[in-house]
Amino acid sequence: MRMVDIIHAKRSGEELTDEQIQFFVDGVVDGSIPDYQTSALLMAIYFQGMTEREQSTLTMKMMESGDHLDLSGIPGVKLDKHSTGGVGDKVSIPLAAVVGSLGIPVPMISGRGLGHTGGTLDKLEAIPGYQVEISEQEFINQVKKEKCAIIGATGNIAPADKKIYALRDVTDTVDSIPLIAGSIMSKKIASGTDALIIDVKTGAGAFMKTLDDSRNLAKALVGIGKGVGMQCMAMITDMNQPLGNAIGNALEIKESIELLRGEGPADLEELTTTIGGYMAKMGGKASTVEEGKQLCEASLHDGSALATFRGMIEAQGGDGNVVDDPDGVMPQAKYKIEFPASKAGVISKIVADEVGVASMLLGGGRQKADDKLDYAVGIVLHKKIGDKVDAGESLLTIYSNREDVDDIKKILATNIEISESAKPMKLIYETIE
């Protein structure tokens, strides 16, 4: 078999055989296929798509490319949650603690930032000492004791995805349904979770910009999960404007802690407790989603979720004092620069992906794979779509370690709109079960 023939077949719109997909995944993992041929096939998949059979074969071969975690030592239904990626989307961080505080084991395997989106692991690393790489046995012990852990795809979980993920990021082939589905589900199946909720983001700041594409991705993800016997559902949720107010690694951890104190922004609390409500039902702690949601709300307001969060941070080597004094423990930006409204009115647009790009350019995200992150920088919004503003009132604060942020202000000025009125925003569009 020759890789060039596989590229030619896909480029011409043909369906790849199981053997061709196996050859490709094997070659990616053992290094016999050079990056330029892998990239060419990724681009051909991007344009030609994949059938349901190809998509599920690609997922299974990527999953089989590495180890399979055995979580059977953890009693109860093991639940995980994954997002397809957004701006300001820090839900996984408080959610693991909220659901864990209900006594449901949450062994969460998360990722790093991709494109303009932030990554859960990058955010957690803003907490001094926090280890995202722990051994399988430490992971299992921690989930048994603390009820939750958030780690990276350890050592040899879906190694094919590691390579393909990095190449997609630099070849502009991220927003492809079969490639996203293969990437997420290969890791989730290998991680041995019993049940999974996927938050499929839709809109300007998501990889899927339209509701139709988001629905197709949600169906693909749920279909693959159910095909291997996993309890699996997806929620399609808004990513036209950033979620919550904070964008940037340490800033998002601080906002997660505020939420765990019952003082978080309304949209972040609503999404976290709704997903938590479904998880409480899947985990057998509630008979309805509404009852589960109420349990999650209670845990945010009675301190139990915050205590579980502290337990998880300390178990993974992080400084638990972060929950009492986030600013004292995590790195702080040198400059805090206000961004005033050019006129009075109502905020009608905050283009999420461009705000994500602005945070990345401050140093909060990677422009090249080996870029070092600046955990302190980012943006905190003071206004969201639908809010009234006066001329000259601050719309947001830019947290920066450089004094000159004219480039950032230029991006924000063209991507935040003030009008007479604003269309009402939906937070949750639909669920796919």
Give 413: exposed, middle or buried? Use CB within 10 Å, 0-12, 13-18, 19+: exposed
**Does 283 sit near ligand URA (CB under 6 A)?**
no
Stretch that binds ligand URA, among 64-72, 177-185, 236-244, 266-274 (CB under 6 A): 177-185
Helix, strand, or coil (residue 106): strand
Give 234: exposed, middle or buried? Use CB within 10 Å, 0-12, 13-18, 19+: buried
- Identify which of 291, 417, 292, 408 has the alpha carbon closest to the alpha carbon of residue 350: 417
**Does 249 sit near ligand URA (CB under 6 A)?**
no
CB of 92 to ligand URA, least distance (A): 11
CB of 142 to ligand URA, least distance (A): 22
Q: Which of 101, 154, 183, 214 binds ligand URA (CB under 6 A)?
A: 183
Q: Helix 92-101 to helix 304-315 angle, to the nearest 10 degrees?
A: 110
Stretch that binds ligand URA, among 180-188, 241-249, 305-313, 325-333 (CB under 6 A): 180-188
Are the beta carbons of 88 and 256 closer than 8 angstroms? no
**Does 127 sit near ligand URA (CB under 6 A)?**
no
**Does 157 sit near ligand URA (CB under 6 A)?**
no
Chain residue at closest Cβ approach to ligand URA: 183
Q: Which of 62, 180, 196, 322 binds ligand URA (CB under 6 A)?
A: 180
First CA to last CA distance, the chain: 39
Nearer to ligand URA (CB atom), residue 85 or residue 225? 85
Alpha helix segments (H runs only) across 243-388: 249-260, 266-282, 289-301, 304-315, 326-329, 352-359
**Does 85 sit near ligand URA (CB under 6 A)?**
yes
CB of 101 to ligand URA, least distance (A): 25
Number of residues that bind ligand URA (CB under 6 A): 7
**Does 58 sit near ligand URA (CB under 6 A)?**
no
**Does 111 sit near ligand URA (CB under 6 A)?**
yes
Cross-strand partners of 336? 399
Nearer to ligand URA (CB atom), residue 45 or residue 180? 180
Nearer to ligand URA (CB atom), residue 46 or residue 399? 46
Q: What letter represents residue 280's amino acid?
A: A
CB of 203 to ligand URA, least distance (A): 15
**Does 62 sit near ligand URA (CB under 6 A)?**
no
Structure tokens at 166: 């990095």
**Does 38 sit near ligand URA (CB under 6 A)?**
no
Chain Cα centroid distance, residue 158:
18
Stretch that binds ligand URA, among 139-147, 176-184, 322-330, 370-378 (CB under 6 A): 176-184
**Does 84 sit near ligand URA (CB under 6 A)?**
yes
Task: Please give the torsion angle defined by the CA atoms of residues 314, 139, 296 and 235, in that order, rounded to the nearest 10 degrees.
Answer: 130
Are the beta carbons of 54 and 36 closer than 8 angstroms? no
**Does 184 sit near ligand URA (CB under 6 A)?**
yes
Task: Please give the torsion angle defined by the CA atoms of residues 111, 116, 117 and 121, in that order, rounded to the nearest 10 degrees.
Answer: 40
What are the CA-CA distances from residue 229 to residues 107, 112, 195, 224, 346 (Å)? 18, 27, 9, 9, 48
Nearer to ligand URA (CB atom), residue 225 or residue 292? 225
Footprint of ligand URA (CB under 6 A) = 84-85, 111, 114, 180, 183-184
